[in-house]
Amino acid sequence: MPDARPEPIQIVFLLFPGITQLDFTAPAQALSRMPGATLAGAAATIAPIATDSGFSILPTHDFASCPQADILCVPGGHGVAEALGDAATIDFIARQAAGARSTTSVCTGAFLLGRAGLLAGKRATTHWGYTHLLPLVGAEPVAGRVVEDGNIVTSGGVTSGLDFALTLIARLQGDTVAQAIQLAIEYDPAPPFTGGHPDRTPAAVTAGLKARVYDAAAARMEEALKT
């Protein structure tokens, strides 16, 4: 007998100006290969969205026309600080999360979940440069690339989105499906350097990056969270 048709799964990604494209495209690539999956990218309008990589992406829906998510994913990026003050964006997250089976974030997208009231009392993670700010949205910071607390799944910075996607696929459809997708996209990390997190990176490299980027970026995020 032929296999039963897979259960339809609607996956919705929030899109906003200044998004980190890999926060979106990495988990989208893995999740799109899950049997039954349909992806939507929702923004305030269907105009092109400028990413942090110098190119734009096109939403498939605006907030009003977006279907209800089974899985809601909120990516991060330097544009999060502005998005925190956009009532339509926060309302969209809250409305979609109310009907979703899983609500998820990559990187600083966690703060948008927090602003929508979804992380109060929850264990969560985000990019290492911003973890100390999670209590401002009522979350308990936890070290880890992927942190699950009930139907809330948060992940660390940028490339952690692939780990989150495979974790979620395994939860929904089993390890074999997740492993097949990991193989299909040849996700077999073998970076040229030991590092990628302050715990495993030379202190001078971490200090230099914080001084150039993340001290100011975290201060800007903190100001936006307190507004």
Q: What is the largest CA-CA distance in the chain?
A: 61
- The verdict on whether 107 is a catalytic residue reads yes
Q: Which of 14, 107, 162, 169 is catalytic?
A: 107
**Spatial CA neighbour of 182 closest among 74, 9, 34:** 34
Q: Under 8 Å CB-to-CB from 40, ≥6 apart: which residues?
A: 10, 11, 12, 13, 60, 61, 66, 67, 69
Pair 111, 74: CB distance under 8 Å: no
Catalytic residues: 107
